[in-house]
Amino acid sequence: MSFKINYDKVYKFDLSNCLFGTLSKEKLYEIGKDGRFASHLLEPQLEEWFPELKHVKGCKGYDHIHRQDARLFDAKNFTHASGCKFMPSNMIGTGRKFDEEAFLKKTKDMSYIICDIVDFPSVSVVFKHGKELAKSYPKGNISLAKRSEVFGA
């Protein structure tokens, strides 16, 4: 099953058939709600769901490139713990500071793929233009309370 990229459209996926070794589904579902873990699996999965994307391995400042027009996409996870932080990774974490100028420069030409893993194994995916996200969320953070603004009801 594959889809064409449409910005602001919410795509829904059911990953309830996921397996890993002998781990129970309950354990996998709990692990799948952790953005640090889920990103390693969702980034290559996004390429399967959306064949226009090519997954780029490593820390390049983006996770995917559009196969036809070379648009850059950064995949971010929306979690129960922290909502969605879409500022550059070097601004996230203890002792790191938000740099508005660098944030705006990155979001200007970046597209974002926001994956809602709050209810994993149910995953919602939405594509957003970085410039629009930065206008709506100027600190690069979408709180859990704003989840419906991004993914609808």
Q: What pLDDT, in 10s, does the model give residues 123-143?
A: 999 999 999 999 999 989 999
Please indicate, yes or no, if residue 2 is contained in any of the structural domains. Answer: no
Tell whether the model's pLDDT for residue 95 goes beyond 90.
no
Distances (CA, A) of 77 to 38, 48, 67, 69, 70: 8, 17, 22, 24, 22
How much of the chain exceeds pLDDT 70, in percent? 94
Name residues whose C-beta falls within 8 Å of residue 125's C-beta, 6 or more positions apart in sequence.
Answer: 10, 11, 12, 13, 46, 49, 113, 114, 115, 116
Residue 35 is part of which domain span? 11-16+25-86+99-151
CA distance 53 to 119: 25
How much of the chain exceeds pLDDT 90, in percent? 75
Whether 137 contacts 107, CB under 8 Å: no
How high is the mean pLDDT of the chain?
91
25-32 and 35-49 are packed helices; what angle lies between their axes, rounded to 10 degrees? 90
CA distance 145 to 47: 29
| DSSP 8-state class, residue 121 | T
Please indicate, yes or no, if residue 61 is contained in any of the structural domains. Answer: yes
Q: How many domains does the chain have?
A: 1
The pLDDT value given to residue 87: 81
Please indicate, yes or no, if residue 5 is contained in any of the structural domains. Answer: no
Name residues whose C-beta falls within 8 Å of residue 14's C-beta, 6 or more positions apart in sequence.
Answer: 121, 122, 123
Please indicate, yes or no, if residue 62 is contained in any of the structural domains. Answer: yes
Please indicate, yes or no, if residue 93 is contained in any of the structural domains. Answer: no
pLDDT digit string (tens) for 23-64?
999 999 999 999 889 999 999 999 999 999 999 987 778 999
Question: For residue 96, what pLDDT band results from cuts at 50, 70 and 90?
Answer: low
pTM of the predicted model as reported, rounded to 2 decimal places: 0.92
CA distance 107 to 24: 39
CA distance 2 to 40: 20
The pLDDT value given to residue 130: 95
Please indicate, yes or no, if residue 43 is contained in any of the structural domains. Answer: yes
The pLDDT value given to residue 98: 74
